[in-house]
A and B are shown apart, each in its own frame.
Chain A
Amino acid sequence: MRRASSAAANFAAVTGSDTGREPGSDTDRSVGSDTGHGVAVDIAGLRVSYGAVTAVDGLTLQARAGEVLGLLGPNGAGKTTTVETLEGFRRPSAGTVRVLGLDPVSDHDRLMTRLGVMLQSCRLYSAIRPIEALRLFASYYPDPDDPEALLDRVGLRSRARTAWRKLSGGEQQRLALALALIGRPEVVVLDEPTAGLDLDGRLLVRAIVAGLREAGACVVLTSHELTEVERVVDRVAIVDRGRLLACGSPAELAVAAGGTAEVRFSAPRGLDVAALAVTLRAPVREPEPGRYVIEAAADPGLVARLTGWLAERDVGLADLQTGPTGLEDVFLRLTSAARSEEGA
């Protein structure tokens, strides 16, 4: 069922242009009309150098309120450096960075009341307990969320009074996520939020990010895990060696990179693909035994005809996936092209 619902999510992303996504196709992704929200994060011509090393090299990006932007790139691409300029930890060597119209360095104090942050591999006081940490951080903000409610929301109720150092890595991540939300932020910056999380934790991050978007917050998250990014973001910025290689919705990127729409599923091997193709009015292949590819965009009618055809034959269906050629292909193509260009 998870697969099916993420397929629906992909479907929504594929077809979801400005005119709207499929409402209710997946609660995690359903959003109202976002048009008219202002720019929350504005990065223009950003360059950050450490000595002779240029970590970010002329990056221009924007993210709006009610939007989730994913920064995707291999290790060392400049993702963390970029988000650290949003947090005011790093000064741009050139270019400008504005968050909610504020300069993260010179307007740091004013910005911090409206920004929620999850640092990569963040540690806390080793003896502090989750509920204490939430109450302490709540005291920093003018209008904080309820620490008890957040504790429940990230699933740490049973660990409320356990010292931080005795929490598991996943529990520490959950607490870090809760601390990013405690100030009711308008912009949330999450650096590798799913790193080291189990499936439950990943689902939690997805649900929380979706909730933030629904509430109108702007979320910027980094990841090197394509599948995670694909599931939660509205737009992806693919960066490598400090440069922006591509930016757009996962579906747009896939199409731009020459990906074709297709539906993939698993079923017993040896189905009559010619007969199925007639029913579906689209080419069907079995590239490997038991794995089928329909070369067509996934519309509900096609999916209904597929399931109907399988039901008539009493055949089981597994791993239904839709969408264009995965973001992975796009990503690999872009980053390797950038590298070979540089090597040339």
Chain B
Amino acid sequence: MHAMVAQTRNELVLSLRQGEQLLVSMGIPVLVLLFLSQVDILPTGTERPIDFLAPAVLGLAVMSSSMVSLGIGTGFERHYGVLKRLGATPLGRPRLLAAKIASVVATEVVQLAMLSGVALALGWQPAWSVLPFAGAVLLGTAAFAGTGLLLAGRLSGPANLAACNGLYLVLLLFGGVAVPASELPGPLGGVAGVLPTGALVKVLRSATGATLPVTGAWIALLAWAVAMPLAAALTFRWSPAD
């Protein structure tokens, strides 16, 4: 137990010490929230921008912590042989993974509290449904962490860095975060609805008061939450590429 607590603390301290990690997990979501809520460029129809934006930014925060920060961090740890070194200690893979999950969840709790606070200050009026909200965050975390680790477990450090950031941007643009899926051209709209970000954001909107049909989104989110960690577990390599 002692080792897991120490490892979790280590993961948290080291990620806080990296400025770019803080930027991705806190800075960008806050900026998106502030900028898009003040500048009326979103095709949000009759909704107030903040009501559309706030759940989307919470989904974005989940994606940044569980996919980008975790994926990039783990990718470099593998690339540089840190994971290999840990493999020659009694820590063990289960405790290392548990520590990483605990550190991501702790980061998300802080992120979600802070971003909700900013959104409320900007006039967001959510009607929370706590269980669906927490469930969506957990499934989203599993889906994105699986995706990040899938990339981290196979690509070299720099390639993984580019892939995680690139995927983040793609999912930000086509995942129904800033732009509603219905506004995307042609078949992209349909694809966006089943991407993990689109599904997560839709469920989060529903869990904070919007009236939406969400059965399809739950199914998509659940599928991603099972498939991606499984794929990562099956393909992950602990040692750097020879």
A140 close to B90 (CB less than 8 A) = yes
Distance in angstroms from A195 CB to nearest chain B CB is: 15
Contacts of B14 in A (CB 8 A): 125, 127-128
| A141 contact set on B, CB distance < 8 A | 89-90
- Which of A110-118, A278-286, A298-306, A328-336 contacts its partner? A110-118
A151 to B88, CA, bound (A): 20
- Interface: A218 (CB within 8 A): no
- Alpha-carbon distance between A179 and B85 when the two chains are bound, in angstroms: 10
A113 touches B82 (CB 8 A): no
Q: Residue of B at shortest CB range from A87?
A: B88
State which of B77, B88, B239 has its C-beta within 8 Å of the C-beta of A115.
B88
Residue of B nearest to A176 (CB): B85
- Give bound CA distance, A135 to B7, whole Å: 10
A183-B81 contact, Cβ under 8 Å, with A128-B10, A132-B10: no
Cβ of A54 within 8 Å of any chain B Cβ, yes or no, is no
Please name all residues of chain B whose beta carbon is closer than 8 Å to the beta carbon of A140 when the two chains form the complex: 3, 89-91
Q: A123-B80, A125-B77, A139-B2 given as contacts; is B85 within 8 A of A89 (CB)?
A: no
Say whether A127 contacts B87, CB under 8 Å: no
By a CB distance below 8 angstroms, the chain B residues around A137 are 89
Complex contact B90–A183 (CB within 8 A): yes
Q: Which of B88-141 contact A (CB under 8 A)?
A: 88-92
Contact partner of A113 (CB less than 8 A), chosen from B76, B80, B90, is: B90
Task: Tell whether A119 is near chain B: CB-to-CB under 8 Å.
Answer: yes
Q: Is the CB of A109 within 8 A of B90?
A: yes
Q: How far is the CB of A217 from chain B (nearest CB, A)?
A: 16
CA distance A123 to B6 in the complex (A): 19
Alpha-carbon gap, A121 to B3, bound state (A): 25
> How many residues in A have their beta carbons less than 8 Å from beta carbons of B?
27
Contact with A along B1-29 (1 / 0, CB 8 A): 01101110010011001100000000000
Q: Given the known A-B contacts A139-B3, A139-B7, are A124 and B92 also in contact in the complex, defined by CB atoms under 8 Å?
A: no
Which of chain B's residues have a CB closer than 8 A to the CB of A256?
Answer: none
Q: A125 with B84: in contact, given A136-B6, A136-B7, A139-B7 (CB under 8 Å)?
A: no
The reply on A122 being an interface residue by CB < 8 A is yes
Give the shortest distance, in Å, between B134 (CB) and chain A (any CB). Answer: 30
Q: Flag if B2 contacts A119 (CB, 8 Å).
A: no
Residues of B within 8 A of A (CB-CB), count: 24
Nearest-CB residue, chain A, relative to B88: A117
- Binary flags per residue of B140-158, CB closer than 8 Å to A gives 1, else 0: 0000000000000000000
Q: B7 near A119 (CB under 8 angstroms)?
A: no
Near A by CB (< 8 A), chain B positions 54-91 give 76-77, 80-82, 84-85, 87-91
Closest CB of chain A to B242's CB: distance in Å? 8
Given the known interface contacts A112-B90, A136-B7, A139-B3, the answer about A122 and B81 at a Cβ–Cβ threshold of 8 Å is yes
Alpha-carbon distance A127/B80, docked complex (angstroms): 13
Knowing A135-B6, A139-B2 touch, does A121 contact B81 (C-beta < 8 A)? yes
- Distance in Å from the Cβ of A188 to the closest Cβ of chain B? 11
Partner of B85, one of A119, A126, A139: A119
Contact check: which of A109, A119, A135 meets B81 at CB < 8 Å? A119
With both chains docked as a complex, state the minimum distance between the C-beta of A89 and any C-beta of chain B, in angstroms: 7
Bound-complex Cα distance A109 to B239 (A): 17
**Within the assembled complex, what's the spacing in Å between the Cα atoms of A248 and B239?**
34
| A179-B14 Cα distance, complex, nearest whole Å | 18
A136 neighbours in B (Cβ, 8 Å)? 6-7, 10
Cβ of A176 to closest chain B Cβ, rounded Å: 8
The residue on A at minimum CB distance from B17 is A127
A124 near B89 with CB under 8 A, answer no
CA distance A127 to B7 in the complex (A): 14
Check A123–B90 contact: CB distance below 8 A: no
Please give, as numbers and ranges, the residues of chain A lying within 8 Å of B6 by CB-CB distance.
Answer: 135-136, 139
Please give the distance in Å from A210's CB to the nearest CB on chain B.
23
Closest to A86 in B: B88
Chain A 151-186 near chain B by CB (<8 Å), digits 1 or 0: 000000000000000000000000000010001000
Q: Which residue of A lies closest to B242 (CB)?
A: A50
Interface core residue of B18, B80, B88 (most chain A CB under 10 Å) = B88
Q: Which residues of A contact B239 (CB under 8 A)?
A: 89
**A123 / chain B contacts, CB cutoff of 8 Å:** 80-82, 85
- By Cβ-Cβ distance, the 3 closest A-B pairs, closest first, are A139-B6, A117-B88, A123-B80
Residues of B within 8 A of A (CB): 2-3, 5-7, 10, 13-14, 17-18, 76-77, 80-82, 84-85, 87-92, 239
> With contacts A112-B88, A128-B10, A140-B90 known, what are 12 further pairs, Cβ within 8 A?
A89-B84, A119-B85, A121-B81, A124-B82, A124-B85, A125-B14, A127-B18, A132-B10, A139-B3, A140-B3, A179-B85, A183-B89
Q: Could you name 23 residue pairs across A and B whose Cβ atoms are closer than 8 Å?
A: A88-B87, A89-B239, A109-B92, A112-B88, A115-B88, A119-B81, A122-B85, A125-B14, A125-B77, A126-B76, A126-B80, A127-B18, A128-B10, A128-B14, A132-B10, A136-B6, A137-B89, A139-B2, A139-B6, A140-B3, A141-B89, A141-B90, A183-B89
